[in-house]
Amino acid sequence: MTHAAFLVIAALAVASALGLVLRRNAIHGALFLVVNLGSVAALYLTLGAEFLAAVQVIVYAGAIMVLFVFAIMVLIPGKEETGLDPRRGWRLLALPVGALLALQLLLVVRAGVGPVAPAAAVPGGVEAVARLLFTRYLLPFELTSVLLLAAMVGVLLLARRRV
């Protein structure tokens, strides 16, 4: 079961990574990156690192990707997406670098890294973090929610078109 899940998720991750590199449209690439980050988060989940998975989704797939998409939409004008690459010569470098990477992969596979066992309930897992959040750091936790509410109200006030 876990094996099958791993295979599906890993295939998804690799496919979306390929899509990210191969698509010409930057926005499509960004969307593939979202899928890739999400499937890596799912991989973390299968390994028992729930907190890491959640942070991966919230920080990378959430916040950082929004910034990425925003930057792409604002900065890249339409033509440059499809124009000729002015530095085509550099592409020749891809061959030796790719060969080096393939060699590394081969060595790693031959060295035989076994399957990674799911981590036990270590400090840093979601349970330990939650335990701290709701006991020792209860006040800062609640205070953060007030802070976010204030920030949200403030942003709405400043961004609203009607004065």
Give 110 or 161: the residue with its C-beta nearer to another protein: 161
**Binding string, residues 130-159; x marks residues near another protein by CB under 8 A:** xx--xxxxxxx--xx-xx-xxx-xxxxxx-
> Least separation, in Å, of the C-beta of 131 and another protein?
6
Give 4 or 139: the residue with its C-beta nearer to another protein: 139
> Least separation, in Å, of the C-beta of 141 and another protein?
10
Write the CA distances from 23 to 4, 5, 19, 90, 131, integer angstroms: 28, 27, 6, 19, 44
Nearest to 49 by CA among 113, 123, 114, 115: 123
Q: 23-31: which pairs have CB atoms within 8 A and are 24 or more residues apart? A: 24/81, 24/82, 25/81, 26/72, 26/76, 26/81, 27/69, 27/72, 27/73, 30/65, 30/68, 30/69, 30/72
> Least separation, in Å, of the C-beta of 122 and another protein?
15
Cα distance between residue 42 and residue 6, in whole Å: 9
Q: Tell me how many residues contact another protein (CB under 8 A).
A: 24
- Tell whether residue 2 is a contact of another protein (CB under 8 A): no
61, 38 contact by CB (below 8 A): yes
**Binding string, residues 97-136; x marks residues near another protein by CB under 8 A:** ------------------------------x--xx--xxx
Give 18 or 130: the residue with its C-beta nearer to another protein: 130
> Least separation, in Å, of the C-beta of 143 and another protein?
4
**Interacting residue ranges for another protein, rule: CB under 8 A:** 127, 130-131, 134-140, 143-144, 146-147, 149-151, 153-158, 163
